[in-house]
Amino acid sequence: MRRFTMATLVVGSAATMLISACGSDNSGSSNGGSSGDPDLSTPQADLTGAGSTFDQPFFTRAFYQYNQLNSNVTVTYASIGSGGGISQFQAQTVDFGATDVPMSASDQAKAKGGETLQLPVALGGVAIAYKVQGVQTGLKLTGDVLGKIFAGQITSWNDPAITALNPGVTLPSEGITVVHRSDGSGTTYIFTDYLSTASPSWKAAVVPGKGKTVKWPVGIGGKGNEGVAGNLSPQQGKGIEGAIGYVELAYALQNNFTTASIQNQAGNYVTPSLGSVAADAAQKPNVSATNFSIVDQVGANSYPISGYSWALVYKTQTDTNKGTALVKLLDWLTHSGGQQQAQALEYVPLPANIQQLARSMLQQVTDSSGKTLLS
């Protein structure tokens, strides 16, 4: 019995030492920052953030790289959803929040730390994916046809409305299974925002037609992107034949979904891609937390179903160290340092004017004595 316990202790401590030795190899190897990076030196700070699940992969990678550049700052992010992010931020259990739909005025009133700044940190698109035998990627759909499909008014793939838009494509007679999100999400918000704008049929059929959740007239729900993606999987032997649904662009690109080309305001059918989403975003340089919708913008190459994700920061930071670390982190995040990480994960990099907008907002952050924290 005693030998057993001794053996366990020895093995246990050896394992722990091995793991911590390996672990410490990863962090702390700061290379002093390459030229072109803004000044990242800050005092020691452990920051926590919470919110949008859309941002999670991007944030994970960005904060990891940031820690490589400045080992003084560690960031823990809880992707509990935009709603959770807002309430944690309001209660000040986290240093910053992240949300796909900006805080409303009533939300801001409940924020315990005073005035809030909301800045765009990430940009993404919503792809319409489908699984129909014999139909390749690039099926052309207009906003109204899409709205009718999701409202249950068009129920089979060879409906005249769809075949009229796609003369060269043989569409089978099978039924359309709509797959929507069952959980509240910013992706749903962007998609329904688009449908409410571009589809009179949708706007008439579903009231309210826009929100993080809506009362879907037809279809099955998938939890999260993965739930929807599982039902749309293009792989043989998976997914539902005849299904159509909406997922984040990164999901569609990473998993080789067949995606629809959506008609934009200029009349062109645009494939969802990093470039077309960026083109759409660039059409609206004056976004703000109160005017944040960028769906269905003008422009020949704009992909109409796009949207930002927003970071929440208190204007007055009571802890100067943390505040300085936070604004420097967010500044790096919204500029080339962080946005390079975003692009590697197939998020759309923020347009230059939006990056400038973010910086100008961060320059409003002060400590309790009124001193600006971002130089």
Partner 1 sequence: MAEASRATGPRRFALGDAAYRRALQLAGLLVFGIFLAVGVSLFLQAWPAFQHSGISFITGSTWDPNSATYGALPFIVGTLLTSVIALIIAVPVGIGAAIFLSEYAPRSISTVLGALVELLAAVPSVVYGLWGLLVLAPWFASTIEPRMTWLPFAHGPTLGVGLFLASVILATMVLPTIVAITRDLMNAVQPSAREAVLGLGGTRWQVVRHAIIPTVRTGMIGGVVLALGRALGETMAVTFVIGNSNVIPHSLLGPTQTLASLIANEFTEATEPFHAASLIAAAVLLLAIAVLVNVAARALVWSVSREVSELV
Partner 2 sequence: MSVAAAPLDRRAYIRDVSARTLRRRQIRGGVYTTLCGLALLIALVPIVAIIGYTVSQGIGAWSVQFFTHLPTPSGIPGGGISNALIGSLIIDGLASLMALPVGIIVALFLSEQRNAVAGAVRFIVDVAAGLPAITIGLFAYAIVVVPQGHFSAFSASVALAVLMLPVVIRAGEGAIRSVPPDLWEAGIALGVRRARVARTVILPAALPGLITASLLAISRAVGEAAPLLFTAIGSTFLVTNLARPMASLPLVIYLDGIQAYPDLQRTAWGTALTLLVIVVLLNLGARLLARRMRRYTR
Binding residues (CB under 8 A) for partner 1: these are: 80-84, 86, 107, 175, 177, 182-185, 208, 211-215, 219-223, 226-227, 230-231, 233, 237-240
Which listed option, partner 2, partner 1, none, makes contact with residue 165 (CB within 5 to 8 Å by class)? none
- By C-beta, is 147 or 299 nearer to partner 1? 147
349 binds partner 2, rule: CB under 8 A: no
Residue type (1 letter), 129? A
Spatial distance between the Cα atoms of 203 and 190, rounded to a whole number of angstroms? 14
Cα of first residue to Cα of last residue in the chain, in angstroms, is 64
Least distance in angstroms from the C-beta of 86 to partner 1? 7
How many whole angstroms separate alpha carbon 220 and alpha carbon 237? 19
Q: Please, what is the minimum distance in Å from the beta carbon of residue 249 to partner 1?
A: 20
Could you tell me if 148 and 161 are in contact, meaning their C-beta atoms sit under 8 angstroms apart? yes
For residue 236, CA distances in Å to 95, 101, 203, 219, 231 come to 45, 36, 36, 22, 12
For residue 352, the partner it binds in partner 2, partner 1, none, with Cβ less than 5 to 8 A by kind, is: none
Q: Nearest Cα to 49, choosing from 15, 85, 102, 19?
A: 85
CB atoms closer than 10 angstroms to residue 89: 29
Interacting partner of 63 out of partner 1, partner 2, none (Cβ under 5 to 8 A depending on kind): partner 2
Residue from 250, 270, 311, 365 in contact with partner 2 (CB under 8 A): 250
Q: Check binding of 69 to partner 2 (CB under 8 A).
A: no
CA distance 294 to 39: 32
Only one of the segments 32-40, 138-146, 164-172, 222-230 lies at the binding site for partner 2 (rule: CB under 8 A); that segment is: 222-230
How is residue 257 written in tokens?
């979904």
144: left (phi over 0), alpha (psi -120 to 50) or beta: alpha
Considering beta carbons, is residue 215 or 371 the nearer one to partner 1?
215
Minimum distance from residue 64 beta carbon to partner 2 (Å): 5
**Nearest CB to partner 1, comparing residues 28 and 175:** 175
Distance CA 314, CA 156 (A): 50
Is residue 300 part of the contact set for partner 2 (CB under 8 A)?
Answer: no
20 forms part of the interface with partner 2 (CB under 8 A): yes
Closer CB to partner 1, 23 or 208, in the complex: 208
Q: Which is nearer to partner 2, 58 or 150 (CB)?
A: 58
Q: Applying CB under 8 A, does 226 fall inside the site for partner 2? A: yes
